[in-house]
């Protein structure tokens, strides 16, 4: 499929600080990318650089057939990019209709009216077209921001945390609606989020930004199943970490021995075993864990367990485990790792 966006070797320097470094990214036409990463890693800066609000220091950005090199000064309005800011940034003194028409004022009045009416209908805003932003709910304001961004018929839509101000009850519904709308336009989009559930519901692809560089991209399922590094697994909270000690061809953890086909020459002190909650089970045996905390969730009880022997070099404080069985805080239990269902990472 034809890429709508290709970023090569992109670096951004702000006030002498390297904020983005050698970013490589590509997005196929019609694909939706979820951009995730720890706070301050450069997500908003990356969106702003693609949109043309921040200048790149090095590298290139291609949006469809527009090529932007360092110093080539292509202004935001010539990049064919629509931006939806976290607070929607609607004009408070303009009506819904006027907000939507804002970016298309250079078009003939008849064309403006046609596009506004089309978008009002598509986003179920026709009845609200004369209202002002403060007379709308958060979800309605978001729809106006989307309509305003789509009015200019961009090739690429950039959304900075589009769902963070939306009531949790409405969020899923809105994500599903917006996704099918974007798909019906074959519109490519990049959205920033802190929430991994949003990536699964809304994105075709995920990119993980860490300290200004992209460290993994791929289909969400593939990244969650095969995180490329300790940082990816840790940021996405894919599972719990267990310290290890190797003896011959075996690895020992506070939950017992696991067979290991992945042994390297790396010292034990730098490697950790990633274990997903679903690969742990309760067994009838001598207790090795104590229940520290219980939360009731839709997936059953979520337990945080600590190892019983606190003084052992392999002890742990936070092991995430789900079960339908009700345990009590302070209860001692035996937990077993389901054979081979773990991954080993070098902690960096």
Ligand X SMILES: Nc1ncnc2c1ncn2[C@@H]1O[C@H](COP(=O)(O)OP(=O)(O)OP(=O)(O)O)[C@@H](O)[C@H]1O
Question: Which residues of this protein are in contact with ligand X, per CB under 6 A?
Answer: 14-15, 17, 19, 37, 39-45
The nearer residue to ligand X, 55 or 331, going by C-beta atoms, is 55
**Closest distance to ligand X from the beta carbon of 174 (Å):** 21
Q: At what angle do helices 109-122 and 138-151 cross, to 10 degrees?
A: 140
The nearer residue to ligand X, 42 or 227, going by C-beta atoms, is 42
The nearer residue to ligand X, 129 or 165, going by C-beta atoms, is 165
Q: What angle do CA 74, 161, 226 make, to 5 degrees?
A: 100
**Closest distance to ligand X from the beta carbon of 50 (Å):** 12
**Closest distance to ligand X from the beta carbon of 337 (Å):** 34
What whole-number distance in Å separates Cα of residue 94 and Cα of residue 110?
A: 19
**Backbone torsions φ then ψ of 154, nearest 5 degrees:** -75, 160
DSSP assignments along 122-179, one per residue: HTT-GGGTT--GGGS-HHHHHHHHHHHHHHT--SEEEEESTTTTS-HHHHHHHHHHHH
Give the closest residue to 31 by CA, choosing from 218, 281, 167, 224.
Answer: 218
The nearer residue to ligand X, 46 or 258, going by C-beta atoms, is 46
**Cα separation values, 323 from 26, 75, 304, 318, Å:** 40, 54, 11, 16
**Closest distance to ligand X from the beta carbon of 343 (Å):** 26
Strand partners, 321: 303
**Closest distance to ligand X from the beta carbon of 85 (Å):** 12
The nearer residue to ligand X, 49 or 188, going by C-beta atoms, is 49
């Amino acid at each position: 499929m034809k890429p709508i966006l290709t970023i090569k070797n992109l670096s951004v320097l702000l006030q002498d600080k390297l904020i983005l470094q050698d970013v490589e990214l590509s997005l196929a036409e019609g694909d939706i990318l979820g951009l995730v990463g720890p706070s301050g890693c450069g997500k908003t800066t990356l969106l702003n650089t693609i949109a043309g609000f921040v200048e790149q220091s090095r590298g290139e950005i291609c949006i469809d057939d527009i090529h932007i090199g360092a110093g080539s000064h292509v202004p935001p309005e010539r990049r064919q990019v629509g931006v939806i800011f976290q607070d929607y940034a609607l004009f408070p003194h303009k009506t819904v209709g006027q907000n939507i028409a804002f970016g298309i004022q250079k078009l003939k009045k008849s064309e403006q009216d046609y596009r506004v009416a089309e978008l009002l209908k598509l986003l179920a805003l026709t009845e609200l077209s004369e209202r002002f932003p403060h007379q709308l709910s958060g979800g309605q304001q978001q729809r106006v921001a989307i309509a305003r961004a789509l009015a200019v018929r961009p090739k690429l839509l950039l959304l900075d945390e589009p769902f963070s101000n939306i009531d949790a009850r409405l969020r899923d519904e809105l994500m599903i609606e917006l996704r099918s709308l974007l798909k019906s336009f074959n519109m490519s989009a990049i959205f920033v989020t802190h929430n991994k559930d949003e990536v699964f519901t809304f994105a075709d692809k995920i990119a993980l930004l860490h300290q200004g560089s992209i460290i993994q991209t791929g289909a969400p399922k593939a990244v969650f199943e095969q995180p490329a590094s300790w940082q990816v697994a840790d940021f996405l909270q894919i599972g719990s970490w267990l310290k290890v000690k190797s003896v011959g061809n075996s690895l020992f953890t506070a939950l017992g021995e696991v067979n290991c086909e992945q042994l390297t020459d790396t010292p034990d002190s730098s490697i950790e075993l990633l274990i997903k909650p679903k690969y742990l089970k309760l067994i009838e045996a001598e207790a090795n864990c104590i229940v520290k905390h219980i939360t009731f969730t839709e997936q059953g009880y979520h337990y945080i367990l600590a190892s019983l022997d606190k003084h052992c070099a392999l002890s742990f404080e936070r092991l995430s485990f789900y079960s339908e069985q009700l345990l009590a805080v302070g209860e001692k239990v035996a937990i077993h790792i389901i054979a081979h269902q773990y991954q080993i990472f070098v902690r960096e």
